[in-house]
Every structure is written in C-alpha cells, then in structure tokens.
Structure 1
C-alpha cells in the first residue's frame, strides 16, 4: 500500500496507532515505536478546557502530553471539547508550541463523562453545524499544521449520519477523517460495521478515509484495504498488550512474511521495559499501579493469564511486581483460546 498524506504529513505505512485514554502514553508509544510499523502515533486524548486552564495558570502540561516535546515525529495529539474557541486556542498551542504533526479532534468518544456531562465527543454528532464550526476554527488556528477528525457512525443505529458528518468535516477543511465502525450507543459491543465505513469513501473528494474497529490481526488489516477501500487503518485496543501488532501488519501490507509473535520470554522482557519507562516518569508507587492494567493486557490469550491477572492486580511495589511477574507471568507459548469479545476492539 502506498503512504497517505495528511496535509503535508506523510504516513508510511498507512497504519495509525489510535489515541486511547489511559493507555497511549509515552511509555506505550515507545514500545510501539521500538517494534515499528506505525506510520502515525497519537497521544491520549486531551481535555481542551483542562489544558487551557493549566496553560493560563502556568502549571505543568497534563501527563497525557508526557514526552510529546522530545519524541520522534510524526505524532498526533487528539483533543476534545464542544467550544470552538477553546479548541482553536488549544490547537494553536499544540501546533505552534509543541510542534505536533497533526491535531485531531474527537467526535467519537462514547463515554458518558464526555458525552452527557461535557456534551462533547460523539454527542456532537447530533449537531453537524457545530462540528463544522469547530473544525473550521481549529483548522484556521493550527495552519499549516493539518487538522483531522475522528467520528463514529452516528449516535445510535437509528441515527447513523456518518456520510453527512464526513462531508461537513471535509468542507470545513480537515485533512483526514477516521471512522470507527460502531455507533456511540454500541459503545464497544458487537462488531464494527466496515460496510458502513466503506459507504463513506465515495463522498470524500480529496481527504483520506481511515477505518477503525476490530483490527486485531494482520489479516484483518489486509482485508480492510482490499475489501473496504479505505486509505488507511487505525489499530486500537488489540495493540494494548501487543505493541508488535503494527510491525506484523506493516509486513503484511508490504507482502512480506509476517513476523511471529515474540516468544513468551521476549514478551515478558517487553512488559518489564514498559514498566521501567512508566516508573521513570511517575515513580515506583504510581508507576506500579498504572502498570497493573498493561501487565494484564500483555498476558491476554496465554495459558495462565487469569491467575497472573488476579495476582498482578494486587501489587503495590516494585518488588511485588517483579515477584508476581517471575512466578506467574505465562511462560508457555499461546494456543488457540477463546478471547473475550470486549478485549480486541
């Protein structure tokens, strides 16, 4: 597959790492970067109002922007809010002060704290005119840094309006559109509807369409390009404990043999490096607590994973963490198991 361009930003290969709240911090991004294969990485999504307050009070940038100034490019930062002026102000700072490669606006988050309380994320899919105002203001504020948008199919199955929103986003000047193949009401239940994503492509005149949802293998990435005609793909939850998935998908796109999963020992060492990076930023106590969920993801699908998850969920210190990893992290190679449907989305 050829690279895609988001404005002047070359994304090669056209495989993007999704922004995921609570997960895609610098430590995670570094693990993905060391394996390779992601053409564009993204931070966790940033609350624009919170970011603006911190900036005005000369406070430290939020942890969600940990590492952004120094790390390799290209790199995207996703933000959310419902006020065009606030989003424009924060977008300008991201572009001109942090020099990020891409500023992304979230119109897809289905979490109630974002939708019902803040009237942001996927809530805004009900209001195409508001989305147009937001995108137009942010594009103008960030120029020449490209601005993108991420959406869902609609608020619910009986209110799918992704084609309308896609047209609005492009007309307002966005440089790319990512579509998750579920509605907000679906949350992460069921399966992503890639046929609905494909229906959007003919309605975009010049910007790339990036598909997202249920991409948990190189084979599914290939299918997304061949069957559904997207220009790029975005991998999300399936990579939380498998940062090597991007490398595998990129090899498949090049027509090369897909590298095997790392051995159990290599995966253990990868997880421990992830732990060290996290603790270097947050200290032993907070870093250990944060790594509980990542450690659980690294064990998913392996014999003994349930026992390991139960044990690592109760660690509080570095010594506890290493003892549990040494005793309980699955040593055997993976075999065919039934993976809970909520895991790989």
Structure 2
C-alpha cells in the first residue's frame, strides 16, 4: 500500500513515536538503519552517525560459516567486521546461515569478543546465492521449526545480548506466513522482529504491503514490531507510525543517496520542522567526504573502485545522473574520480549558471 505523504502542523511539538526496548537496550529514536550487503560498511556508518537520527545502526550481514572458517584458519576476522570492536554503540551485527550451532558460535563471539549491542539473524534476504545455494535467508521462512531452533540456540549463546530477527512476509504471495513466523520468533526468545513488507519472490519489485506488516502486531505479546519497506521520505516515516500498528521503522535503500534521511525523519517524529534537503553542492561535498573515508579505510585504488557504486547512489534521481553514472563507473584512480565529479556530478541551477 502506498503512503499518504501529507503532514499536519501542530502548535507545539509532540513526539509521534515512543522509544522502543530491544531487551535492555533503549532505541531512541525508534528508527533503525538496515544492514545492506556491500553498502553499510564502516565509512558509510560513519556518515550516518555524523548526521544522526538513527537509533540503531547495523553492519553488513556476515556469513556465519565463513566467519568460522576464517577462525579455524587463524585468519583475520571478516572484513565486514572491520572497526566494529571500537565503533560507537549501539551497533547491531546481522548474521546468516542455516546451521543453529554455527550461528550460535558466531553470535557468542559477537556478543562477548566484539561486544556488539544486538545480534540480528537474517531470515529475509531473497538473493539466490543466499536462498537457493545456501538454503538461508528467506529460504528458511518455509521451515519455521528450523528458524525456532536457530533463534533458541543463538539467544542462549548470546545472553544477555539481545537477539533479533528480520523476515519477509513469506516466500511467495500465495504462501504468506509472517504471522505464524512472528510467533515462532517471539516464542524462541528473540527480543524484536523486523518485517519487510514484500515476499522473497517479490525481491524489491512493487510496493511493500504495510497492512500485512501491521496485521502481525496483535500476535506479538512482548517484543516490538519494526516495519521496513519503501520509506524514502520523512513524511512516509511519519505516515507509517500514524497509519500502522508498529513500534519502530527500519530504513534501507533510500538512505544510500540520502544518509541525512534518519535525521530528517527523527525531527519529524519529534514534531519539529524537517530541515531542508542539502543542496546539490552540499551533496557533492558530502560525497567527496564519503570518498575520503572510503580511501582511508581501503586505500586509494580499492577505495576508488568501491566508491563508484556509492557515487551512483548520490546522483540517483538528479538531473544529469545518467551521464555521471556512465563516467564514474569507469574511474580507477583518485584523479579520475575527482575529474568526473567536477565535470559531471549534477549541479544546482545557480552553480550551473556560474560555471
């Protein structure tokens, strides 16, 4: 269902959503940053923190089996966990696999050695490599009993660190079982449930069904329900809390070209005026700042290649984005990156007239 993006004015600011508790962890504001493979790395998390507004930030999802293999080889920890030990809290790490003992072992390491705030289990990823090849992610929505075993073992291994789960509505539209799965998740001891409003077969097509997310809430007795899907403006976040029976929201893909979205949404939920969008000049400077952080982490050569996808995100939806993407997709050096940004990144009308 689509959102009504109209907002109402109030004489006095009034918070529209209360903080949530994930175990003993208070999440305020109740806006979570989703784990996204290939994107929510250390530099991107820094950018989100600089803007503020995210009550809980997550790393990229970590393959539990790969983590154990690295440990057995006495190799370094997974690259996706770089910086986690010393990173500001709260911080969630999402793990995936289909073997309860393996997930429990990794969860225990994350809770004790890394001291993360939340261990999240991925039951929502629809990507073929995770589902069909590894029988993990959203594939497990067809196996509620195994999901329960996984959660029970991870909860026991991580105690007292809270364990959460992220799911989709079901595997396919004719096999939507989110209400049943939600009760399994809560019964197995999870501290919160996030639901993306599409099925695995939907991938990211169509609209997220928030009515079906909301329908889950009456079946949860003690844990918060976090809704996810299509939240790309502060107005839509406000609408989600006003129209649906949820406790919190999770923002995913929309933040990749608007990392300030969390701060804008948080202001809206506090009943405060939503700040103006950064100008294109400010967005260009933000992208360059992001690029410097990526290069500090990965080095100039690898950092330049990795930044290409982020740069495309920053330009998304702007006039001239297609031309910029065509050129930035081929850069391999800092000099090339800077030259392409200078010449092709979308500009404000005032900048364009001055050049």
User: Aligned equivalents of 1:117 and 1:64: distance in 2?
Assistant: 21
Which residue number in structure 1 is paired with residue 125 of structure 2?
109
Which residue number in structure 1 is paired with residue 271 of structure 2?
255
The two structures have a TM-score, normalised by structure 1, of 0.96
Which residue number in structure 1 is paired with residue 44 of structure 2?
28
Matched, 1:6 2:54: no
Query: Which piece of structure 1 moves more, 103-112 or 50-59?
Result: 50-59
- How far did residue 64 of structure 1 move? 1.0
User: Aligned equivalents of 1:10 and 1:52: distance in 2?
Assistant: 31
User: Aligned equivalents of 1:260 and 1:145: distance in 2?
Assistant: 38
Query: Which piece of structure 1 moves more, 107-116 or 50-59?
Result: 50-59
Which residue number in structure 1 is paired with residue 218 of structure 2?
202
Which residue number in structure 2 is paired with residue 275 of structure 1?
291
User: Aligned equivalents of 1:281 and 1:59: distance in 2?
Assistant: 19
CA 1:13 to 1:52, structure 2 compared with 1: closer, same or farther past 3 Å? same
Query: How big is each residue's C-alpha offset from its partner over 1:14-40, in whole Å with a ceiling of 9 and x where there is no partner?
Result: 000000000000111110000000000
Which residue number in structure 2 is paired with residue 132 of structure 1?
148
Residue pairs, 1:146-185, within 5 angstroms: 146-185=162-201
Matched, 1:144 2:150: no
Divergent runs of 4+, >3 A: none
Which residue number in structure 2 is paired with residue 301 of structure 1?
317
User: Aligned equivalents of 2:139 and 2:33: distance in 1?
Assistant: 23
Of residues 66, 79, 85 in structure 2, which corresponds to 1:63?
A: 79
Matched, 1:98 2:123: no
Residue 281 of structure 2 contacts residue 348 of structure 2 at CA under 8 Å; is this kept in 1?
Answer: no
- How far did residue 56 of structure 1 move? 2.1
Measured on the aligned residues, the alpha-carbon RMSD in Å equals: 1.0
* 3-state SS of 1:177 partner: strand
User: Aligned equivalents of 1:70 and 1:300: distance in 2?
Assistant: 32
- How far did residue 283 of structure 1 move? 1.0
Gaps of 5+ in 1: 335-345
* 3-state SS of 2:92 partner: strand
Which residue number in structure 2 is paired with residue 341 of structure 1?
none
Which residue number in structure 1 is paired with residue 9 of structure 2?
none
Compare relative contact order (CA 8 Å, sep 6+) and give the higher one, 1 or 2. 2
Of residues 134, 138, 143 in structure 2, which corresponds to 1:118?
A: 134
- How far did residue 213 of structure 1 move? 0.2
Query: How big is each residue's C-alpha offset from its partner over 1:258-311, in whole Å with a ceiling of 9 and x where there is no partner?
Result: 011111121111111111111111111111010000000001111111111111
User: Aligned equivalents of 1:67 and 1:271: distance in 2?
Assistant: 21
Residue 299 of structure 1 contacts residue 330 of structure 1 at CA under 8 Å; is this kept in 2?
Answer: yes
User: Aligned equivalents of 1:67 and 1:11: distance in 2?
Assistant: 22
Residue 138 of structure 2 contacts residue 171 of structure 2 at CA under 8 Å; is this kept in 1?
Answer: yes
- How far did residue 55 of structure 1 move? 1.6
User: Aligned equivalents of 1:277 and 1:46: distance in 2?
Assistant: 22
User: Aligned equivalents of 2:129 and 2:66: distance in 1?
Assistant: 14
Residue pairs, 1:221-232, within 5 angstroms: 221-232=237-248
Residue 31 of structure 2 contacts residue 250 of structure 2 at CA under 8 Å; is this kept in 1?
Answer: yes
User: Aligned equivalents of 2:38 and 2:277: distance in 1?
Assistant: 25
Residue 302 of structure 1 contacts residue 332 of structure 1 at CA under 8 Å; is this kept in 2?
Answer: no
Residue 118 of structure 2 contacts residue 162 of structure 2 at CA under 8 Å; is this kept in 1?
Answer: yes
Of residues 202, 206, 222 in structure 2, which corresponds to 1:186?
A: 202
Query: How big is each residue's C-alpha offset from its partner over 1:18-73, in whole Å with a ceiling of 9 and x where there is no partner?
Result: 00000000111110000000000000000000011112222111221122111110
Matched, 1:46 2:62: yes
Paired residues in the alignment total: 334
User: Aligned equivalents of 1:168 and 1:136: distance in 2?
Assistant: 10
Residue 215 of structure 2 contacts residue 245 of structure 2 at CA under 8 Å; is this kept in 1?
Answer: no
Residue 264 of structure 1 contacts residue 333 of structure 1 at CA under 8 Å; is this kept in 2?
Answer: no
